[in-house]
């Protein structure tokens, strides 16, 4: 038993069904691409937010004359900033065509 056409209500193999089916495949492909891009944007936002937080903290530290409560804390802060900057750099390089 044939299913009715999406467009004209005729049989599945009518020309109308072929056009509608092709359009449906294109729409589904477009929707999948949109979801892939949304996931990519969310990933980039996450790493860039981390890098921005690191920059804000570094600027704050520099405004205080580069003085942290201790040398150990200063090294930890620098390591955090460097990791955030490296993660952002890597993600941005991945995004290059």
Mean pLDDT along residues 81-86: 86
* pLDDT at 62 (0 to 100): 78
Q: Which 3 state secondary structure label does DSSP give 1? A: coil
Q: Any idea where the domains of the chain sit in the sequence?
A: 15-94
Distance CA 75, CA 18 (A): 65
Is there a contact between 54 and 80 (Cβ–Cβ < 8 Å)?
Answer: yes
pLDDT digits (tens, 9 = 90+) for 16-59: 656 667 778 888 899 999 999 999 899 888 888 888 888 888 88
Q: What are the backbone dihedrals phi and psi of residue 33, each rounded to the nearest 5 degrees, phi first?
A: -65, -40
pLDDT of residue 6: 59
Q: Are 81 and 58 in contact (CB under 8 A)?
A: yes
* H/E element, 10: none
| Distance, CA of 85 to CA of 79 (rounded, Å) | 10
- 87 pLDDT band, cuts 50/70/90, is confident
Q: What is the pLDDT of residue 67?
A: 76
| pLDDT at site 78 | 83
Q: Quick check: 67 and 36 in contact, CB under 8 A?
A: no
């Amino acid at each position: 038993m044939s299913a009715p056409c999406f467009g004209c209500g005729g049989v599945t193999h009518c020309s109308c069904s072929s056009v509608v089916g092709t359009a449906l495949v294109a729409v589904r492909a477009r929707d999948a691409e949109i979801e892939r891009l949304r996931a990519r944007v969310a990933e980039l936002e996450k790493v860039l937010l981390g890098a921005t937080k690191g920059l804000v903290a570094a600027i704050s530290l520099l405004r205080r004359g580069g003085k942290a409560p201790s040398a150990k804390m200063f090294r930890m802060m620098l390591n955090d900033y460097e990791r955030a900057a490296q993660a952002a750099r890597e993600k941005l390089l991945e995004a290059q065509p």
